[in-house]
């Protein structure tokens, strides 16, 4: 069952006076993270391409007495990233927290059917864009001698046990696997500067992105969206996707001093998804295609 109440609502000022950038901060998980960090006392900079969504989040934060500033950014454009960080520094003088949340889902198809342009779109956004934001922010965090970077990964990109990867999502999974490599590498590079780097790894999370992914799976398998959801939830021991606020809570934890000795780690926040279940999905997928 989903908890009746968000436990983080009982906490206050875990991020008091921190300056936090949240890429993709205007929608979905990013929006949830932006709101949660603002409630914990951070000044939040939601950054993404769609200013109207960012401004809506800023309005929500300000309505609750928080502080926020929307800054547009295109993660496929290096100069746009440089400008975004420069604007954040100009406005607030420092960056204490970076949440790399922005990303695209990409197509649902076999690798043999994957178009190069679709592969590059995901790699450029989810991996290269993440790297560039880290690079620019670290230029300010390292001289300051402190900071926390939280990557938002994905269970399809968690490696090391031979069971990684979402079927039909090669480009997305490879990009997220790369983000784990970036997480672990930066944690070692930046530790001597007092900077921690960690990764929250969600699976299905109840928002518009999950609907988009499930619709792609439904279309590929020739089933309804409802059937696709029912199939997916068989693989979650809790029998449900995570709530956005649950992912936001994990992110706040890693950004705050509650996790002051944790770095270089991938924290699964997946409602009990186990990759072995994905083998069943492939069997079902092939059976439906054959009909």
pLDDT tens, position by position, 28-73: 999 999 999 999 999 999 999 999 999 999 999 999 999 999 999 9
Please name which of 154, 174, 130 lies closest in space to residue 23, comparing C-alpha atoms: 130
pTM: 0.87
Please name which of 251, 247, 127, 269 lies closest in space to residue 198, comparing C-alpha atoms: 251
Q: Identify the pLDDT of residue 217.
A: 75
Element (H, E) at 81: helix 78-92
Please name which of 282, 212, 263, 269 lies closest in space to residue 242, comparing C-alpha atoms: 269
Residue 137 has pLDDT above 90, yes or no: yes
Backbone angles phi, psi at 139, to 5 degrees: -60, -20
Q: Report the relative pairing of strands 147-152 and 195-202 from DSSP bridges.
A: parallel
Q: Is 192 left (phi over 0), alpha (psi -120 to 50) or beta?
A: alpha
Q: Identify the pLDDT of residue 287.
A: 60
Check: CB of residue 268 under 8 Å from CB of residue 155. yes
Tokens of 119: 């592969």
279-287 contacts at long range (C-beta below 8 A, 24 or more positions apart): 280/234, 280/235, 281/167, 281/231, 281/232, 281/235, 282/167, 284/221, 284/231, 285/167, 285/168, 285/220, 285/221
Residue 103 has pLDDT above 50, yes or no: yes
What are the residue ranges spanned by the domains of the chain? 13-204+243-271
Name 187's Cβ contacts closer than 8 Å, sequence gap at least 6: 196, 197, 198, 263, 264, 265
SS3 199: strand
Tokens of 267: 């924290």
pLDDT tens, position by position, 173-206: 999 999 999 999 999 999 999 999 999 999 878 7
Please name which of 239, 231, 227 lies closest in space to residue 272, comparing C-alpha atoms: 239
Residue 211 has pLDDT above 60, yes or no: yes
Residue 221 has pLDDT above 90, yes or no: no
Higher pLDDT, 160 or 91: 91
Burial letters 142-156, b for 16+ CB under 10 A, else e: beeeebbbbbbbbbb
Higher pLDDT, 217 or 60: 60
Burial letters 44-71, b for 16+ CB under 10 A, else e: bbbbbbeeebbebbbeebeeeebbbbbb
Q: Identify the pLDDT of residue 276.
A: 47
Tokens of 165: 């990867």
Q: The domain 13-204+243-271: what is its CATH number?
A: 3.40.50.720
Q: Identify the pLDDT of residue 234.
A: 80
Tokens 């988009």, residue located: 212
Q: Identify the pLDDT of residue 283.
A: 53
Q: Identify the pLDDT of residue 213.
A: 75
């Amino acid at each position: 069952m989903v908890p009746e109440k968000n436990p983080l609502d009982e906490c206050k000022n875990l991020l008091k006076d921190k300056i936090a950038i949240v890429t993709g901060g205007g929608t979905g998980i990013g929006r949830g993270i932006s709101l949660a960090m603002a409630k914990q006392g951070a000044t939040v900079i939601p950054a993404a391409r769609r200013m109207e969504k960012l401004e809506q989040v800023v309005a929500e934060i300000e309505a609750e007495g928080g502080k926020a500033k929307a800054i547009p950014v295109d993660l496929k454009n290096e100069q746009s990233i440089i400008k975004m960080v420069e604007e954040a520094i100009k406005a607030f003088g420092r960056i204490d927290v970076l949440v790399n949340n922005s990303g695209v889902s990409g197509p649902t198809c076999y690798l043999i059917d994957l178009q190069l342009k679709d592969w590059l779109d995901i790699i450029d956004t989810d991996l290269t864009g993440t790297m560039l934001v880290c690079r620019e922010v670290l230029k300010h965090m390292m001289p300051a001698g402190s900071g926390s970077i939280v990557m938002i990964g994905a269970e399809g990109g968690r490696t090391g046990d031979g069971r990684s990867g979402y079927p039909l999502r090669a480009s997305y999974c490879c990009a997220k696997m790369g983000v784990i490599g970036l997480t672990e590498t930066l944690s070692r590079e930046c530790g001597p500067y007092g900077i921690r780097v960690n990764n929250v790894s969600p699976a299905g999370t109840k928002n518009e992105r999950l609907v988009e992914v499930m619709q792609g799976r439904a279309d590929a398998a020739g089933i309804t969206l409802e059937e696709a959801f029912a199939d997916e939830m068989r693989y979650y021991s809790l029998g449900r996707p995570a709530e956005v606020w649950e992912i936001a809570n994990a992110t706040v934890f890693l950004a705050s001093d509650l996790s002051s000795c944790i770095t270089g780690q991938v924290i699964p926040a997946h409602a009990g998804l186990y990759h072995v279940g994905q083998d069943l999905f492939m069997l079902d997928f092939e059976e439906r295609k054959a009909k």
